């Protein structure tokens, strides 16, 4: 990395005392200035002059690369302006007060809808999905079942450039729903790799296979879904934003920001973590935890055949003014043989003084070359990635209104330790599409009935404990290596459990085959009651 240029200090003003010789002015690792005493104040004053603050390394890198077309959904924006906007949102979350006013998006009107002019040629939809980037999947699945569905999307329905990483098993969930073929799966896969590494600060490595080992093109997949949805009779309203929803006994009316209105029997909220409806339901309260993610897709990696699912290369580090435990994920990208996507993420509490995304990126530029054993200047940075993923203990979110249901990240159904999004949606796509179809067909659209589609899930509570264990807690006096020690012990135990599970499956299969061929002679003394052929998990 080139050495920073040292700025000459201005001569002392006549009215000000001379700078003491022992005042020091130094360049930090992140390229900014710091010092002691009056020297520090003078440098700050100079930096804050008419010319403004010098751009950060993040801004300089992002200004040099093409931001690409901005699309909806998490990770759909790449520009420096988008980064600053998201940092402002993050700051507002940290500074929010419990009694702050929350806009009322959904209102309940007593009685049926009367004296309403739908206009010429308008229709009543069975379902209207708000948010099209991931909502297109549930919308297409419902449309294939004969439900009249419309999608409202404030941008255009288009997948982002950055790949989604998923396992083939999770991808097959879409095939089983019937809205994608196995041949089309091969068309959207842009990278396929194994094995995958887990590791924690030189304590040892655990290698697994077939976990997040496929990269798919969101642009291709979403385009296929979009064409399929329209061809099955679905309607798309792009460039339209939701303003409010009026829920009546028989219908819900969506009022759009351009003055249009659309009636339907059920509203599906697929607007993600920052849905205004979810904000109203949760009364604007802060999330219990947040996963902050930054990263890049870059070209120039010679060793690029395996992935890291979770890897920690150090104990607690400073990012901005906070101590954080940093983790890495890295995957080969399908855009080229030396292209690699690298994520750095951390779990934090939403409180004043927490690290900003730009501060995390400044740390990323310092640590990523060490982690990946590369020289930053030798890489061609193609995209800079960033995101905020809030989590709540009381998840999934039960339906709070008649005729309104949250799905995907808006429902809180994603694991608190993951980034959510596409993977969490596919795992529930079959169950949700069937349940919603039955609710619409039976007119079971009151809040109490809809709550059955987002039931309590104990595995999410267990995942929440994992997130807390992976978060640096400055108010607790523990060793800086404690988190890595704990996680390695857990992963090592899970590896042993996995081996035991494989042995168990082997003997279960053997016993089932023997049962089939021999009908278990009583003289053997075996009993099938202890081994259930339908048991697939521990």
Query: β-pairing, 261-269 with 125-130?
Result: parallel
Task: Give pLDDT, residue 465.
Answer: 78
Cβ neighbours for 108, distance < 8 A, ≥ 6 positions apart = 247, 401, 402
pLDDT of residue 202: 79
**Percent of the chain predicted with pLDDT > 90:** 57
| pLDDT beyond 80 at 533 | no
Q: How confident is the model at residue 43 (pLDDT cuts 50, 70, 90)?
A: very low
Tens digits of residue pLDDT in 330-353: 999 999 999 999 999 999 988 877
3-state class of 372 per DSSP? helix
**HSE-CB for 47 with a 13 A CA cutoff:** 17
DSSP 3-state of 118: coil
Buried-state track 479-518, b at ≥16 Cβ within 10 A, e below 16: eebbbbeebbeebeeeeeeeeeeeeeeeeeeebeeeeeee
Chain segment 215-271, per-residue pLDDT in tens:
999 999 999 999 999 999 999 999 999 999 999 999 999 999 999 999 999 999 999
Instruction: Give the pLDDT of residue 71.
Output: 57
d(CA 363, CA 29): 9
Q: Give the pLDDT confidence score for residue 506 in this predicted structure.
A: 52
pLDDT, mean of residues 173-199: 94
Torsion sign over Cα 411, 415, 420, 421: negative
458 falls in which pLDDT band (50, 70, 90)? confident
Q: In the structure, what pLDDT confidence band is assigned to residue 414 with cuts at 50, 70 and 90?
A: confident
| Contact yes or no for 270/389 (Cβ under 8 A) | no
Least confident of 2-16, 181-195, 317-331: 2-16
Calculate mean pLDDT across residues 149-170: 93
User: What mean pLDDT is predicted for residues 27-37?
Assistant: 38
CA dist., res. 339 & res. 300, Å (int): 6
Give the pTM: 0.80
Kindly state the helix (H) or strand (E) to which residue 244 belongs, with its residue range.
Answer: strand 242-247
- 75-109 exposure pattern, b = at least 16 Cβ within 10 A, e = fewer: bbbbbbebbeebbeebeebbeeeeeeeeeebbeee
CA 8 from chain centre, in angstroms, equals 45
Distance from C-alpha of 96 to C-alpha of 522, rounded to nearest angstrom: 69
Other residues' Cβ atoms within 10 Å of the Cβ of residue 269: 28
pLDDT reported for residue 334: 93
Average predicted confidence (pLDDT) for the chain? 81
Cα–Cα distance between 136 and 520 in angstroms, integer?
51
Specify the pLDDT at position 25: 32
pLDDT for 127 equals 98
| Top-confidence residue, 513 or 421 | 421
In angstroms, rounded to a whole number, what is the distance separating the alpha carbons of residues 32 and 29? 8
Cα-flanking dihedrals φ and ψ of residue 29, to 5°? -60, -30
Which position has the token pair 């003394």?
A: 525
Residue 66 has pLDDT above 90, yes or no: no
Residue 267, CB-side half-sphere exposure with 13 Å CA sphere: 30
More confident residue, 251 or 501: 251
């Amino acid at each position: 990395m080139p050495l920073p240029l040292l700025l000459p200090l201005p001569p002392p003003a006549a009215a000000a005392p001379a700078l003491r010789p022992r005042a020091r002015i130094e360049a930090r690792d992140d390229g900014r200035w710091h010092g002691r005493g009056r020297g520090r104040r003078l440098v700050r004053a100079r930096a804050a002059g008419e010319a403004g603050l010098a751009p950060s390394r993040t801004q300089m890198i992002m200004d040099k690369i093409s931001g690409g077309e901005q699309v909806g959904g998490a990770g759909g924006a790449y520009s420096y302006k988008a980064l600053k906007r998201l940092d402002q949102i993050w700051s507002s979350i940290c500074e929010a007060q419990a009694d702050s006013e929350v806009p009322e998006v959904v209102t309940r009107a007593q009685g049926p809808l009367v004296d309403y002019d739908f206009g010429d040629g308008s229709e009543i939809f069975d379902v209207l999905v708000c948010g099209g980037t991931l909502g297109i999947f549930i919308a297409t699945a419902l449309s294939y079942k004969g439900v009249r569905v419309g999608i409202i999307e404030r941008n255009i329905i288009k997948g982002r450039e950055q790949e989604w990483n998923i396992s083939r098993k999770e991808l097959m969930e879409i095939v089983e729903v019937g809205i994608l073929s196995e041949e089309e799966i091969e068309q959207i896969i842009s990278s396929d790799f194994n094995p995958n590494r887990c590791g924690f600060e030189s304590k040892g490595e655990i290698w697994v296979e077939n976990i997040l080992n496929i990269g798919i093109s969101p642009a291709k997949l979403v385009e296929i879904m979009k064409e399929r949805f329209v061809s099955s009779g679905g309607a798309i309203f792009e460039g339209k934003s939701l303003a409010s929803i009026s829920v009546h006994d028989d219908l819900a009316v969506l009022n759009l920001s351009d003055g249009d209105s659309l009636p339907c029997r059920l509203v599906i909220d697929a607007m993600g973590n920052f849905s205004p409806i979810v904000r109203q339901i949760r009364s604007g309260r802060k999330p219990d935890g947040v996963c902050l993610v930054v990263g890049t897709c870059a070209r120039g990696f010679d060793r690029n055949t395996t992935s890291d699912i979770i890897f920690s290369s150090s104990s607690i580090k400073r990012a901005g003014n906070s101590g954080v435990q940093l983790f890495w994920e890295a995957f080969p990208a399908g855009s080229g043989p030396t292209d690699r996507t690298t994520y750095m993420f951390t779990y934090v509490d939403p409180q004043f003084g927490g690290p900003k995304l730009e501060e995390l990126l400044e740390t990323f530029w310092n640590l990523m070359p060490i982690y990946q054993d590369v020289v930053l200047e030798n890489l061609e940075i193609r995209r800079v990635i960033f995101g905020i993923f809030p989590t709540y203990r009381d998840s999934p979110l039960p339906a709070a209104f008649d005729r309104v249901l949250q799905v995907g990240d808006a429902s809180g159904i994603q694991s608190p330790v993951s980034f959510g999004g596409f993977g969490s949606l596919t795992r529930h796509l079959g169950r949700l599409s069937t349940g919603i179809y039955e609710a619409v067909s039976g007119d079971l659209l009151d809040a109490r009935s809809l709550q059955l589609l987002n039931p309590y899930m104990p595995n999410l509570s267990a995942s929440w404990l994992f997130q807390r264990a992976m978060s640096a807690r400055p108010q607790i006096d523990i060793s800086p290596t404690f988190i890595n020690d704990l996680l390695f012990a857990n992963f090592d135990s899970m590896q042993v459990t996995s081996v035991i599970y494989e042995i168990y499956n082997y003997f279960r299969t053997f016993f089932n085959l023997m049962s089939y061929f021999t009908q278990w002679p009583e003289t053997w003394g075996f009993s099938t009651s202890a081994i259930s052929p339908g048991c697939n998990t521990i």
